[in-house]
Chains A and B, each alone.
Chain A
Amino acid sequence: MSDFQEFLENSLQQKIKQLIPLTGGASADINRIVLANEDELIVRRTLSQEKSVMAIPKILEAKIQKVVKKNGAPVPAIIFEFSEGEEIGEGYVMEAIPGETIPRKILRDKKFASAREKLPFEIGKSLAKIHQTQLDDLKALDQVTFSDSLGKLFQVYLSFNQPQPVFDLAFKWLEAQKLTEYGDVLVHGDFRFGNFIISEENLESIIDWELAHIGNPMEDLGWLCVRSWRFGNVEKRVGGLGDIKDLIAGYESNSDIKIDESQLDIWQLYGSLRWGVICMMQTFAHLSGMVNSVEKAAIGRRVSETEFDLMNMIKHKNFL
């Protein structure tokens, strides 16, 4: 038995039948815990040697989930947190919410048909709840303004030393926009399909809080609308699933914030640019020799997809 399994058994005071590794966020080691009585839990942790520059510490992730849950938004309940030495790392155990996260299945499988109809509204409603989270307990989170984000993204882009004129145009376009301030809120930071657990009935849970920060609420809404997560259903702006009107209606049904679609457009354009730079980051991990991966090499040629999206938004004002 591994030290990690032994540690979990001692902490949970229960025998573990199986630990199943799951693929997850860029900076987390995630396992499904199957207990001797067949109950299931999820453990997310970071091993000390693989701390990411982008992700927040796992303990903070757990804290956010607790605060968000207390406020009534759908997130898995935290069972316990740990911060141990190198072998075990830092992380937390949470409840395993049954449901599907794979976007293509949610978008295509018959059994999700009735859930699909209400998801844009429900996702908007839950996001509004998240954005109302009291920030008093979350002071450890970074506060990030739009110009901070843009500046940081530009530095990352410059670091590859591979000019992409479309990105340069997009940076200049974004710098010239007038952003509406809605007051600081808790931003999930990676709010899109893949991080939603969906049952046949509804949205069950929002997971993967490792990019959370304090910022503008429109960031989450814009990111959700980025074309890269529509999985072929291009005309459906909300994750390939539904209309933006339903998302906005859901959000506004639960919030005092009134959404201006033109603000959402700006944040969606920013989202496409951000995804483009992340694709570059992935491919340069391969090109620099840090890892040798055909997937990472291939993703470099997906940068042109984000450039195509950016140019359609800039030239044709087409946000679909």
Chain B
Amino acid sequence: MSVFDRPTSKELLEAVIDFIDAEIKSDSYPANKKFKFQIVLNVLNIVKREVETGKEVNEKLTKSGSKLLNEENFSIEKLSEKIRNKELDYENQSLIDFLYDLTEEKIKIDNPKYK
């Protein structure tokens, strides 16, 4: 539930994405600007996917991260620190599995075509 009206943030982004996409597909659009707008489109799509699923992914990973660290509060900073000071060994399978999951979730948002 949200106090904000439709269009939702996702729907607003989609409208902008569709507009730019149609605009740069036309033959009259200059090639050098097309390239820049393609980057803009990629950025907007990242934001859209993060708006869509980011919260859920964050909750899921925070939960499994807490389990890995055996601590109530998980943070990326804490995890990095424990790898740096070797509290978590680089060959620790649970660590490797967690980081693999984390990476898979990030790539789904940043560039789902990257496999």
Q: Do A and B interact with each other, yes or no?
A: yes
Min CB distance, A182 to chain B, in Å?
Answer: 26
Is the beta-carbon distance between B79 and A163 smaller than 8 angstroms? Answer: yes
Segment of A54-62, A105-113, A188-196, A293-301 in the binding face: A293-301
Is the beta-carbon distance between B100 and A168 smaller than 8 angstroms? Answer: no
* Chain A residue at minimum C-beta to C-beta distance from B106: A304
Q: Binding site of A, secondary structure by majority: helix, strand, loop or mixed?
A: helix
Cβ-neighbour of B111 out of A168, A302, A315 (below 8 A): A302
Min CB distance, B66 to chain A, in Å?
Answer: 14
Is the beta-carbon distance between A166 and B110 smaller than 8 angstroms? Answer: no
Which B residues, 26 to 49, have Cβ-Cβ distances below 8 Å to chain A? 36, 39-40, 42-43, 46
Is the beta-carbon distance between B106 and A307 smaller than 8 angstroms? Answer: yes
Number of interface residues of A (CB under 8 A): 24
Q: Within 8 Å CB of A315, what residues of B? A: 96-97, 100
Is the beta-carbon distance between A308 and B114 smaller than 8 angstroms? Answer: yes
Check B25 for interface membership: any CB of A closer than 8 A: no
Cα–Cα, bound, A291→B111 (Å): 24
- Give per-residue flags for A165-194: 1 if the beta carbon is below 8 A from chain B beta carbons, else 0: 110110011001000000000000000000
Q: Within 8 Å CB of B107, what residues of A? A: 304-305, 307-308
Segment of B1-9, B10-18, B52-60, B82-90 in the binding face: B82-90
Check B70 for interface membership: any CB of A closer than 8 A: no
Is the beta-carbon distance between A304 and B111 smaller than 8 angstroms? Answer: yes
Given contacts A166-B103, A294-B39, A294-B40, contact A304 B96 (CB under 8 A): no
Cα–Cα, bound, A307→B106 (Å): 9
Is the beta-carbon distance between A169 and B90 smaller than 8 angstroms? Answer: yes
- Give per-residue flags for B88-115: 1 if the beta carbon is below 8 A from chain A beta carbons, else 0: 0010000111011011101101110011
Q: Binding site of B, secondary structure by majority: helix, strand, loop or mixed?
A: helix
Cα–Cα, bound, A302→B110 (Å): 7
Min CB distance, A168 to chain B, in Å?
Answer: 4
Check B22 for interface membership: any CB of A closer than 8 A: no
Is the beta-carbon distance between A308 and B77 smaller than 8 angstroms? Answer: no
Q: Within 8 Å CB of B73, what residues of A? A: none
Check B64 for interface membership: any CB of A closer than 8 A: no
Min CB distance, A176 to chain B, in Å?
Answer: 7
Q: Within 8 Å CB of B99, what residues of A? A: 165-166, 169, 311
Is the beta-carbon distance between B80 and A168 smaller than 8 angstroms? Answer: yes
Other A-B contacts than A165-B79, A298-B39, 12 sampled, CB-CB below 8 A, are A165-B102, A166-B103, A169-B95, A169-B99, A172-B83, A176-B90, A304-B103, A304-B109, A307-B107, A308-B103, A308-B104, A308-B114
* Sampled A-B contacts (13; CB under 8 Å): A163-B76, A163-B81, A166-B99, A168-B83, A169-B95, A172-B84, A172-B86, A172-B90, A173-B90, A234-B115, A294-B43, A308-B106, A308-B107
